[in-house]
Structure 1
């Protein structure tokens, strides 16, 4: 019988080896590391729970909502404000409701760098999202997908990897029990006093122990009764009819129909 000559690396040697390839190997009890640049969320408590301390670029970020409108735009408002003030385009893809422009402006968002795209059909949304991701000319893409197949998510994750922008996908909270290629997934629920509860259910790192409660900014214009809001508070932020920052449903549907046949099913 031959004696075994296998040698095991000491902890110091193993740690030194792991440090040379942070994108390839990581320990399950430690936060993952990536060479990709991340962007701070604007909430220190949340950044502590995100790998590399911020929102990762070039990947899908899934925000699973108990219901639309619970504060997802206010959660991303610090990021959107930073990007638009840096003259980077932020795309809002098929939001369930038209965002209140005056409230966005009060949060520091430059509306001249907001692009709103509306699409009713799920297939049109997927097509439009893929085209936006291929353009690689946006700062962030926010898309609402109440219905989405797993193969569509894989296509979007692959497309997101080709650019440097931030890609957020809003889906129903029930989707948390479904598999997803997104490396970062969070469940968002309304909390007391207008706050937002954020639970990280998937990340490159240890299991998230408990939700983070985030205080969200509330624009003063939202505290006013609707009947008392002055026209002057709204009109300066209303996009003109011929603005290039809005795409109507008929135009998008017609364009998607012409090109969808060229895409894989």
Structure 2
């Protein structure tokens, strides 16, 4: 029924004014807390203004291990620092405070060994890192599902290249009860498969230290344009020369123009050109 017809009926006016009502032509809201990604252009295109919790975020790449941390590092670093418990005020009798326990960052089946100095640059300490290396795809799925159901991690990152749509649906059902963001990394070839993940993105490296994102699925209208995010680490920016930080320019090769007097010069026919060696050989006989 058209919206105008519903608005004319007083019984439906309250329904249309409800903030929980979502129109497919507008970007949807999020009933659960969202985490700012650290990229304003990306937050503006995500329902709720950031990475969602209580649902899966599926990130597709042509090659795993290239851009994950450049995309998620800013958000995960702030998330784990904010979730650290605050120290208790000092009592009359001085006591040695226990080290503040922070929620772990759980990695399931990463393609490479985590680079600790790079994680530390994002504010993630080695003590917060839990690395699970399953022996096969079934164990990776089981570990991911148990980590989501435990709801004890600051965030769950799982690389599941062989997961099937039914298994993704099971993980999404488990994520509904988890307060931590859950990120699944899968190959680009599965973009045509159905997926229960409410948010699906294609991630690839771009030019000039950028990241390029395509939003395949979200709660909102289709997003056809690519997002280009500046993702140059601050530590690397301090080491690069100013000319290396400027956008690259493509210089087209200069081709000399053909002189006007030669542009209409008649060319010998191919048969005459090919006949010259034969005529030369006949004259020498």
TM-score (norm 1): 0.76
For residue 72 of structure 2, what is the aligned residue in structure 1? Answer: 76
1:140 paired residue number? 155
Aligned to 1:170: 185
Stretch moving more, 202-211 or 64-73: 64-73
Of 10, 16, 19, 1:18 maps to 16
Compared with structure 1, are the counterparts of its residues 163 and 58 closer, same or farther at alpha carbon in structure 2 (3 Å cutoff)? same
* Greater relative CO (CA pairs within 8 A, separation 6+): 1
Where does residue 24 of structure 2 map in the other structure?
A: 28
Deviations 1:206-236 (A, max 9, x none): 1113111111133647999xxxxxxxxxxxx
Query: Which of 146, 151, 166 is the matching residue for 2:166?
Result: 151
Give, in whole Å, the separation in 2 of the partners of 1:206 and 1:12: 27
* Structure-2-length-normalised TM-score: 0.70
User: Would you say 1:9 and 2:24 are equivalent positions?
Assistant: no
Match for residue 194 of structure 1 among 179, 186, 209? 209
**RMSD of aligned alpha carbons:** 2.3
Which has more radius of gyration?
2
Equivalents in 1 of 2:13, 2:211: separation in Å?
38
Structure 1 residues 160 and 74: alpha-carbon distance in aligned structure 2, compared to 1, 3 A threshold: same
| Aligned residue number for residue 161 of structure 1 | 176
Partner of 1:181: 196
Unaligned runs of 5+ in 1: 1-6, 225-265
Matches within 5 A, 1:90-239: 90-218=105-233, 220=235
Q: Is the 8 A contact 2:6 2:13 kept in 1?
A: no
- How far does residue 83 in structure 1 lie from its aligned partner after superposition? 2.4
CA positional deviation for 1:27: 1.2
**Number of matched pairs:** 216
Corresponding residue to 1:55 among 37, 51, 57? 51
Q: Where do 5+ consecutive residues of structure 2 fail to align?
A: 85-101, 240-285
| Separation of aligned partners in 2, 1:196 and 1:12 | 48
Deviations 1:166-217 (A, max 9, x none): 0000001111111000000000111002211011110000111311111113
Does the 8 A contact of 2:212 with 2:227 survive in 1?
yes
Cα distance, 1:88 vs structure 2? 2.4
